[in-house]
Amino acid sequence: MKLYYSPTSPYVRKVVACAIIRGLDGRIERHITNPHESPEDLVADNPLSKVPCLITDDGLPLFGSQLICEYLDSLGDALPLFPERGAPRWRALKFQSLGDGILDAAVPCRGERGKPREAARDAQIARFMSVISRTVDALEADPPQKHVDIGSVTVACALGYIDFRFASDPWRPGHPKLTAWYEPFAQTKGLAETAPH
């Protein structure tokens, strides 16, 4: 398999963490890519010119961390990251949505913060930061569980991205339950090896 990736992308981190947890990392060739430059090889496999993009052993291009992680979960014999049914499945998918929602606000917010200030941009940044704040508050009220599934991995990647890119806006103050969950969970296999730096 081949993975188009950017080392600091939190969506890529989620995919690589899942591959490590599932024991598949050694089967994946990593291809460093700058999707903002729309390189020909990436665009040929993914017209969206986004990472992560995984090319399966059969040559099928898959893009988007949710799809790629679910595909990786279908390979090998490790315990599934996507529970099959019932309340555990819906809870895991709920936390995946919360974590991805944080990233869907944080990644463009970081980009907007790097541009010249103007009223419309400041309003958009405030909106993104409000989404992040509300979601972290929701996670404090109902933190993920200690077992490893797609929801807990995604939330950990999102909180790690906030630590990495938003150090001036720390999420830990006022969130003791979430902090108590995150600190040991961030040291688990797959997450510790992929921490951004």
Q: Are 23 and 16 in contact (CB under 8 A)?
A: no
Cα-Cα-Cα-Cα dihedral of 35, 72, 74, 187, to 10°? -140
Measure the CA–CA gap between 190 and 153, rounded to whole angstroms.
Answer: 9
Q: Where are the domains of the chain?
A: 2-73, 86-194
Cα torsion angle, 43, 48, 50, 56, sign:
negative
- Domain 2-73 top-level CATH class: alpha beta
Largest CA distance in the chain: 52
Listed as ranges, residues in the chain with pLDDT below 70 are: none
| pLDDT the model gives residue 114 | 87
| pLDDT the model gives residue 167 | 92
| pLDDT the model gives residue 197 | 82
The tokens of 114 are what? 């790097």
86-194: CATH number: 1.20.1050.10
